[in-house]
Amino acid sequence: MLQAENISKHLEGPAGRIDILDDVSLQLASGDSLAIVGASGSGKTTLLGLLAGLDVPSGGRVTLAGHELTMLDEEARAALRQRLVGFVFQSFHLLPALTAEENVMLPLELAAGADIRARARAALAAVGLDPRRGHYPYQLSGGEQQRVALARAFVHEPRVLFADEPTGNLDSHTGAAVSDLMFELNRAHATTLVLVTHDVQLARRCAHTAELVAGRLAE
C-alpha cells in the first residue's frame, strides 16, 4: 500500500544545505499500522508529509497504492489524496464557521451524486457525535473536536490515514478514548494507519515503529 525507497530531503538555507531526512526506506501493507517516533527535529513530520504526497523528496521515491508520487505534479498528487488519503492533525483544523456536520462534509464536496449529508451524519454517528452535529467547533470540547476530525478523515473511506500527533492537545483520558476510536475505525475500514507521536502507549499499539534519529532510521 505504501512504500518509501531511499528517500532524502534537504533544503538550501543561508548557511548552506540542511539535511532533514537521509536514506529512509519502509513499506506497509494494506491495513497495517506504523508509528513514526523520535526526538523533536528528527524529521518525523517531514517524513509524514513525504509519505502523504504533501511534498516531494529530494531523492528516492514514494509509492502510494501503486502510484509513484514522485512522478506526479502537485495537482495530480492532490487528486490522489482526495481519493485515497485521510488526515488527522494535533490542532484539529476544523473550520470555525461550519457546524460539525458541515466540517465532515468537506471531503465529500466533489462526490457528485452522493448523499453527502447522510454520509457525514453516519460518520459522526460512528464516533458518537450525531447529537452534536449542529454544533460549531467552539461549542465542542477538545476531545469532541478531535472526534469530528476523525469522522471527517474517515467519511470518504480512505485507503491510508495519516495522523500527526493526534492526541497531542488532549489530556490522557481523552487521548486514550480518541486513540481507541482511531484504531476501531482503522480495523473497521482496513485502513493503513501512519502516525507521528510522542505518546509511547499510542506507538505501542501500532504493528510497526520507525524511530528517526537526526533524519535517519534507527536500527
Number of domains the chain contains: 1
Instruction: List pLDDT tens digits, range 85-129.
Output: 988 887 888 999 999 999 999 888 766 556 888 889 988 998 889
The CATH number of whichever domain residue 173 belongs to comes to 3.40.50.300
- Give the Cβ contact number of residue 3 at 10 Å: 16
Is 60 exceeded by the pLDDT of residue 162? yes
Q: Are strands 33-38 and 208-213 parallel, antiparallel or unpaired?
A: parallel
Residues 6+ apart with CB under 8 A from 113: none
β 192-196/160-164 pair status? parallel
pTM assigned to the model: 0.86
Lowest model confidence (mean pLDDT) among 31-35, 103-107, 209-213: 103-107
- Structural domain range at position 122: 2-217
The predicted pLDDT at position 109 comes to: 77
What is the pLDDT, as a whole number, of residue 16? 81
